[in-house]
Chain A
Amino acid sequence: MPLFRLTLVSALLLVAIAPAQADWLNFRGPQGSGFDPGAATTPAKLSDKTLAWKVVLPGRGLGSAIVVGDKVFVTAASGPEQQQIHVLCFAVKDGAPLWERRFWATGRTMSHNKTNVAAPTPASDGERIYALYSSNDLICLDLDGNLVWMRALTLDYPNASNSLGLASSPIVVGDTLVAQIENDSESFAAGFDLLTGVNKWKLDRPKSANWTSPTVIVKDGESIVALQGGDGIVGLLPSTGSPVFKIAGGASTIPSSAASGDQLFIPSNGLTAMRIGASGSEPEKVWNESNERPGTASPLVIGEKVYLINNAGVLTCIDRATGARLWRTRIEGPFSGSPVAGAGDRLFIFGETGIGQVVDLSGEEGRIVSRIELGETILSTPALSDGALYIRSDGHLWKFSAGL
């Protein structure tokens, strides 16, 4: 089966509109992996001295902030039944509010108390923001807040909801927005047209609750979107939804995989590394370590090392090539959010009790070099952009900057 190949025209178009390297465009940044090699600088410490600004948010949310150019975007949900949903835009420079758009949720807003309607992280292609909510409202705005399109997916697909709350974050791959709306009753994944929001494709998915987010594998310059679920992984051509590969054997429905190049590190039977082969070939298992079990946090791949955090709050470093454990250290959890990293040998993670930690990865073992208590429950994953880190709670959005 041929892999997705960009035409010359579309390739040139994508180059022309490609967002700046410093942008953080979706959950866990580039490829949905948590690691941005282009983030050359990151804050060495999290402290009052590196706190650039802090702004109040109008409602709950645990989706990450995303950053496009000089703007940072975040979603929220407010009201007694979380029926007001918000998209907020702030200035990167000083946190000044630039615009806010509010909508009424059109789908079900029920969720477990721990999560909320603004659980998915929005996505961007550098020109527009695509905000998805647990109510299945999917809203596209341009960077200035002009409404481009809206979908009310629960009106289209009335049983597509999860009474505990949905949390999977969408991602833009090429010319398509890919989202997983997976639950026990009416489960699907879909590719949406970036300009109109209409379905480019829609695929039935296993009827089972699933909170994982799609990731992107790049094979010979070609992008494949990987959908994870209880039955394993399926790789799709993002523009058509055509299957490219399948990895059976099951996978977690909580932590998402980490993609790095043509490899996928899957929370499956512990942790399993798979290499996506040439077109038409079966994915190859590189290794499996059944004792290395990611908790809620998704794994992270940086260069030749894989990092995972288990439910006991132990951070483990694994050799990418062999799966061998290199070191482990306990950090302060528990964690709902996932770790992220830039090119500076520093891992950033925030725990549910509001403690942010910076782990220095440059030595033979990981070492916590900075710790901050934000004083609020933090269930979200940080974003990194242009030397800064962004983290949000139900009440606030913080920016920590390396330049201070």
Chain B
Amino acid sequence: MKATIALLAAALFLILPAPPLRSAEWSGALEQILKVGPEGAGNAEAAKAWGELTAHGSEVILPVLEAMETAGPIARNWMRSAVETVFERELAAKAALPADRIKAFVLDRKNEPNARRLAFDLYGKVSPEEAKSLIPGMIDDPSAPLRRDAVAQLLTEGQAQLGAGEKEKSLATLDRALDAARDIDQIDAVAKLLREKLEQKLDLPKHFGFLMHWQLIAPFDNTDRKGFDTVYPPETEINLSSAYEGKEGKSVTWQEYATSDDYGKVDFNTPFSPLKQVTGYAYAEFTAGEAREAEIRLGCKNAWKIWFNGELLFGRDEYHRGQRIDQYSLPVALKEGKNTILVKACQNEQEQDWTVQWEFQMRVCDSTGTAILATDRKPTPEKAAPARRPAAAATPAPAPAPAQ
């Protein structure tokens, strides 16, 4: 577990050797920033490099934007603030800014997505109308932050067409918006219009890439929350025809389960009835058309662990603090053909009405949120009868104490 977490952290910091910088300009300072590492390592040197970069004029903007391609999240933030500091100062001084080069950087889709969004915002401060004119062309942009603006334009346009009674035009516009949308709030907004105003049937689970078909086994014990660290048989073998000793000595077996929920919620309470202090497992196979990088994205308000192709990816023992789509993003390497996913979900002892849920939702997508579908993906199940406890399922956790 700790080793896996360490690997994840290492991947996030990009402490592995980075590709060379595109430009030799200010490479010393940029390389110093690229060396920032875990637990504050390299901060002092990065601060000196930041000072060196920001002492210059607008000539540093493009080299720093380009260097973001090789940067991890922390180094990218150092670079972002350097770029913006120089840009704002030069803009205030009415100095010449390399608007054309910034625009070219935005339009080059090979550049780092966040850096392109930053460059777009800078360009908008120099040439607001020209920047605005670029937005429609970003509807299929690989940078989700840029695509968002284009989707927003289509959403507005589709709403206006609806308001004018132009249903066919609106349908075409909103269909394009839904195809392009990657952010949850935009998908929700477009789907609501298509369903409620234009009476369209939508397969949102497929759009998101939610996994809808599972094998479930439960209940194993989680008294005193000990189930999270207890190794039950599904963690050591996947044999869907085996029976095991579950909680209180009762025999448990794998069961087929399919969800029709728009957001792929897998509800252990449905087949096993509402239970407390229990542990369940869900198993799915994902057939990938090619070996590629991907993300497993999870939403879960129970304690959980995930194994991908037999390797523990991550685990978290937090209960009932909230759940949403894409709550956790876990990078994985899909292999061509069969990949296995095992989810452990633990329910605790709390009895409040907002602690009934024993569920999770999971999708497979790329880093922009674009669904990756299994080559043998089964049709999305038709909606079943209403859930047994819709009110409880919608009950949010109580508000925290924000300001003490």
**Residues of A bordering B, CB below 8 Å:** 27, 62-64, 80-81, 99-104, 106, 108, 110-116, 119, 145-152, 155-156, 158-159, 162-165, 167-169, 183-185, 192-193, 195-199, 207, 209, 211-213, 253-256, 296-298, 336-338, 379-381
Contact = CB atoms under 8 A, between A and B. Distances in A.
A198 B81 CA distance: 20
B318 interface: yes
Contact of A164 (B41, B46, B321): B321
Contacts of A147: 47, 50, 78, 81-82
A256 B9 CA distance: 33
Nearest to A87: B81
B12 interface: yes
B318 A162 contact: yes
Given A167-B404, A196-B44, A381-B403, 12 more contacts: A62-B403, A81-B183, A101-B81, A101-B84, A108-B328, A115-B400, A147-B47, A149-B43, A163-B327, A164-B322, A196-B43, A255-B401
B47 A112 contact: no
A145 B328 CA distance: 32
Contact of B401 (A111, A195, A296): A296
30 contacts: A100-B88, A101-B81, A101-B85, A103-B77, A104-B114, A108-B327, A108-B328, A110-B322, A112-B322, A114-B399, A114-B400, A116-B402, A147-B47, A147-B82, A155-B74, A158-B5, A158-B314, A164-B322, A167-B403, A184-B319, A185-B316, A185-B317, A195-B44, A198-B43, A199-B39, A211-B400, A255-B401, A336-B401, A336-B402, A380-B403
A150 B318 contact: no
A80 B185 contact: yes
A78 to B, nearest CB: 12
A392 to B, nearest CB: 11
Interface string B67-87: 000000110111011101100
B56 to A, nearest CB: 14
Contacts of B323: 163
Contacts of A63: 403
Contacts of A81: 183
A158 B321 contact: no
A211 B397 contact: no
A213 to B, nearest CB: 6
B73 A149 contact: no
Contact of B399 (A102, A115, A337): A115
A241 B183 CA distance: 43
B232 interface: no
A253 B47 CA distance: 36
Given A119-B403, A212-B404, A213-B404, A163 B318 contact: yes
A225 to B, nearest CB: 16
A381 B41 CA distance: 34
Contacts of A115: 399-400, 402
B403 A379 contact: yes
Interface in B313-337: 314, 316-319, 321-324, 327-328
B8 interface: yes
Contacts of B44: 149, 195-196
Contacts of B397: 112, 164
B318 A184 contact: yes
Contact of A255 (B8, B85, B88, B404): B404
A162 B397 CA distance: 12
B316 A159 contact: yes
B276 interface: no
A337 B403 contact: yes
B2 to A, nearest CB: 10
B196 to A, nearest CB: 22
Contacts of B396: 112
Contacts of B74: 106, 150, 152, 155
A106 B36 CA distance: 14
Contacts of B357: none
Per CB-CB distance, the 6 closest pairs between chain A and chain B, nearest first, are: A254-B401, A115-B402, A198-B40, A163-B321, A149-B43, A163-B322
A150 B43 contact: yes
B8 A379 contact: no
Given A101-B85, A159-B316, A165 B400 contact: yes
A114 B319 contact: no
Interface in B1-39: 5, 8-9, 12-13, 36, 38-39
B312 to A, nearest CB: 13
Contacts of A209: 321, 400
A64 B404 CA distance: 11
Contact of B40 (A114, A116, A151): A151
Contacts of B185: 80
A401 B328 CA distance: 45
Contact of B43 (A169, A197, A211, A213): A197
Nearest to B315: A159
A167 B400 contact: yes
B310 interface: no
B241 to A, nearest CB: 35
B40 A256 contact: no
Contacts of A192: 40
Interface in B165-204: 183, 185
A380 B401 CA distance: 11
B137 interface: no
B51 interface: yes
A241 B118 CA distance: 40
Contacts of A155: 9, 12-13, 38, 73-74
Contacts of A254: 401, 404
B54 interface: yes
B301 interface: yes
B148 interface: yes
Contacts of B51: 146
A122 to B, nearest CB: 14
B117 to A, nearest CB: 10
Given A145-B85, A150-B74, A156-B9, A112 B403 contact: no
